[in-house]
């Protein structure tokens, strides 16, 4: 009986090793794909854009982030506003804060998605920053043409100074 028990135990262990090997082999293509995507030059380089911003940031600056979680991750602090709220197409139903800004459904931050909302932030904050990616900024579905034109006319473009051409960093400074 002990010989049969040993044989069964060895078979169980071999089956477990085979399953583990199969799972690892299945994970290798996914891991390889993830690593290749990380180096894809078309993907936004949030880290570089926020590293530049972290050096420039002062207390009281407005930070408008296309992806608020990236601001929180790379700056260690939340953005003050979301930028490019167009992908949700629920702005008219979104809750509003005391200042009348629509709130982002996911981050809970005020959304800047029109020229008018940007003008309000621009008037209230003497300094501020916009961090977005090239695709969202140049796509009319995500950034209204009037808003894009206003930003290009009133803000300084810091990309590729920020170290990337996939992430756009804009800033304004009206401090004395």
Instruction: Assess contact for 92 and 113: CB atoms under 8 A.
Output: no
CA 175 – CA 104 distance, rounded (Å): 29
Burial class of residue 163, CB neighbours in 10 A (0-12, 13-18, 19+): middle
Percentage of the chain modeled with pLDDT above 90: 42
pTM reported for the whole predicted model: 0.73
Query: Taking the CA of residue 64 as centre, how many other CA atoms within 13 Å lie in the half-sphere pointing to its CB?
Result: 30
40 pLDDT band, cuts 50/70/90, is: low
pLDDT at 36: 45
């Amino acid at each position: 009986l002990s010989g049969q028990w040993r044989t069964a135990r060895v078979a169980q262990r071999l089956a477990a090793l085979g399953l583990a090997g199969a799972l690892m082999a299945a994970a290798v293509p996914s891991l390889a794909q993830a690593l290749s995507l990380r180096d894809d030059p078309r993907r936004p380089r949030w880290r570089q854009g926020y590293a530049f911003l972290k050096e420039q940031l002062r207390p009281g600056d407005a930070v408008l982030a296309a992806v608020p979680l990236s601001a929180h991750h790379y700056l260690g602090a939340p953005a003050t506003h979301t930028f490019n709220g167009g992908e949700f197409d629920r702005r008219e139903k979104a809750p509003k804060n005391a200042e009348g800004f629509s709130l982002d459904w996911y981050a809970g931050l005020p959304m800047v998605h029109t020229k008018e909302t940007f003008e309000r932030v621009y008037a209230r904050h003497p300094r501020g920053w916009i961090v977005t990616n090239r695709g969202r900024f140049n796509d009319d579905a995500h950034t209204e043409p009037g808003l894009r034109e206003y930003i290009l006319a009133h803000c300084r473009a810091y990309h590729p100074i920020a170290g990337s051409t996939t992430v756009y960093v804009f800033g304004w400074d009206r401090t004395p």
